[in-house]
């Protein structure tokens, strides 16, 4: 009995310390190692208004698109950006712009129940978040619950079975892989630091439809006060690899750029391998001709991309196969 109160006091002090530690981590919105987010629920970011399953962003988040899409097991994606008030993005060159502190990038992966008619609804799978903090990107992956009411932080990768009907009326099924934090870093790694992939200036520099009007996306972002004024004609534009009116070589290079270059570049995680797949890389430096047989075999065998997909992208493989035949 004489030890009861000291023990209780010790427990109380330990609990208080633990609570303060957790509170500090929540307030900082990042993990102690400063590389992953620590907000447990996606709803805490206040990205969507109304029913989140409808993916209607609040006024603080603005839709953006990229010209060529990364293949992710045929999933659709919604990309949103939030820039702090009185701050703007600065386009310096054709690559990634300069993002201000506090910028949030949100990318939600989903499948339409029936691609022939979006009114039949969609299945939200995951939302990936990047937050700009202290000059670096901090990442987090959130998986949506079955009720489609919220998504929850996960640092461990796992699979979810998804069924849908494609645009031709065929029933499809995929074991979609939600990546772990470590897997995210493998692709989003530039010189061993987390980096955004898609929103390069040349990937944003194309015509989009907004409120029923066609407008260059850079101009649209400028009008919204998100991007500092620039002349979009002074920047390059990555073509859409699905556009049959574009030459085969440009389509193939665009495909390799968005699907492979984040690793196969001079600063990517596969920089030790000779291939350089960035769209602007001079052809001799890509080593495409020298390695065409190996590239073809790796893609057809499903060995590349190494992570990020669980099924082969038959259309993409056909495109690269046709292109390699010309080399």
In this prediction, residue 324 carries a pLDDT of 98
In this prediction, residue 116 carries a pLDDT of 97
In this prediction, residue 72 carries a pLDDT of 95
What's the structural domain count of the chain? 2
- 47 part of a folded domain: yes
pLDDT digits (tens, 9 = 90+) for 147-161: 999 999 999 999 999
In this prediction, residue 272 carries a pLDDT of 73
Together in a domain, 60 and 206: yes
Together in a domain, 208 and 114: yes
Tell me: pLDDT of 300 over 70.
yes
Q: Which domain holds residue 129?
A: 42-234
Using the 3D structure, point to which of 191, 212, 234 is the last residue of a domain. Answer: 234
In this prediction, residue 186 carries a pLDDT of 65
* CA 188 vs CA 45, 91, 174, 183, 260: distances in Å: 22, 20, 24, 9, 12
pLDDT > 70: percent of the chain: 87
- 7 part of a folded domain: no
Together in a domain, 199 and 302: no
Tell me: pLDDT of 258 over 80.
yes
pLDDT digits (tens, 9 = 90+) for 161-218: 999 999 999 999 999 999 987 777 767 766 667 889 999 999 999 999 999 999 999 9
**Cβ atoms 128, 107 nearer than 8 A:** yes
pLDDT digits (tens, 9 = 90+) for 119-145: 999 999 999 999 999 999 999 999 999
DSSP SS3 for 201: helix
Together in a domain, 230 and 254: no
Mean pLDDT across the stretch 268-295?
91
Tell me: pLDDT of 291 over 90.
yes
Average pLDDT, the chain: 88
Using the 3D structure, point to which of 203, 234, 265 is the last residue of a domain. Answer: 234
Mean pLDDT across the stretch 41-62?
97
pLDDT digits (tens, 9 = 90+) for 71-82: 999 999 999 999
pTM: 0.86
- 303 part of a folded domain: yes
- 22 part of a folded domain: no
- 256 part of a folded domain: yes
Together in a domain, 69 and 177: yes
Tell me: pLDDT of 238 over 70.
yes
pLDDT digits (tens, 9 = 90+) for 91-113: 999 999 999 999 999 999 999 99
pLDDT > 90: percent of the chain: 76
Tell me: pLDDT of 84 over 70.
yes
Question: Of 59, 63, 158, which is closest to residue 106 (Cα–Cα)?
Answer: 63
Tell me: pLDDT of 9 over 50.
no
Together in a domain, 108 and 208: yes
pLDDT digits (tens, 9 = 90+) for 58-67: 999 999 999 9
- 144 part of a folded domain: yes
In this prediction, residue 34 carries a pLDDT of 56
Tell me: pLDDT of 309 over 60.
yes
CA distance 59 to 48: 9
Measured CA angle at 143 (ends 226, 168), to 5 deg: 85
Together in a domain, 166 and 289: no
Confidence of residue 26 (pLDDT cuts 50, 70, 90): very low
């Amino acid at each position: 009995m004489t030890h009861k109160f000291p023990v209780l006091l010790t427990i109380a002090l330990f609990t208080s310390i633990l609570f303060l530690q957790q509170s500090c981590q929540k307030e900082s919105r990042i993990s102690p190692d400063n590389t992953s987010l620590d907000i447990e629920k996606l709803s805490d970011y206040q990205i969507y208004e109304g029913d989140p399953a409808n993916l209607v962003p609040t006024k603080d988040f603005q839709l953006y698109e990229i010209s060529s899409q990364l293949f992710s097991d045929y999933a659709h994606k919604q990309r949103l950006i939030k820039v702090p008030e009185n701050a703007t993005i600065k386009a310096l060159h054709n690559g990634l712009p300069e993002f201000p502190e506090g910028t949030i990038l949100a990318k939600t992966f989903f499948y339409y129940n029936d691609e022939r008619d979006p009114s039949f609804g969609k299945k939200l799978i995951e939302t990936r978040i990047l937050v700009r903090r202290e000059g670096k990107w901090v990442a987090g992956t959130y998986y949506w619950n079955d009720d489609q009411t919220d998504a929850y932080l996960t640092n461990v990768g796992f699979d979810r079975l998804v069924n849908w009907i494609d645009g031709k009326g065929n029933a499809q099924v995929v074991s979609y892989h939600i990546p772990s934090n470590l897997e995210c870093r493998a692709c989003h790694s530039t010189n061993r630091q987390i980096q955004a992939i898609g929103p390069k200036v040349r990937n944003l520099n194309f015509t989009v439809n907004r409120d029923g009007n066609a407008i260059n996306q850079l101009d649209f972002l400028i009008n919204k006060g998100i991007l500092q004024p620039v002349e979009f004609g002074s920047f390059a534009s990555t073509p859409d690899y699905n556009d049959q009116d574009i030459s085969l070589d440009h389509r193939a290079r665009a495909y390799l750029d968005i699907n492979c270059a984040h690793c196969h570049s001079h600063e990517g995680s596969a920089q030790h391998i000779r291939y350089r797949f960035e769209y602007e890389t001079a052809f001799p430096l890509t080593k495409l001709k020298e390695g065409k047989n190996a590239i073809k075999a790796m893609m057809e065998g499903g060995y590349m991309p190494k992570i990020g997909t669980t099924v082969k992208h038959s259309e993409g493989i056909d495109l690269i196969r046709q292109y390699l035949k010309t080399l």
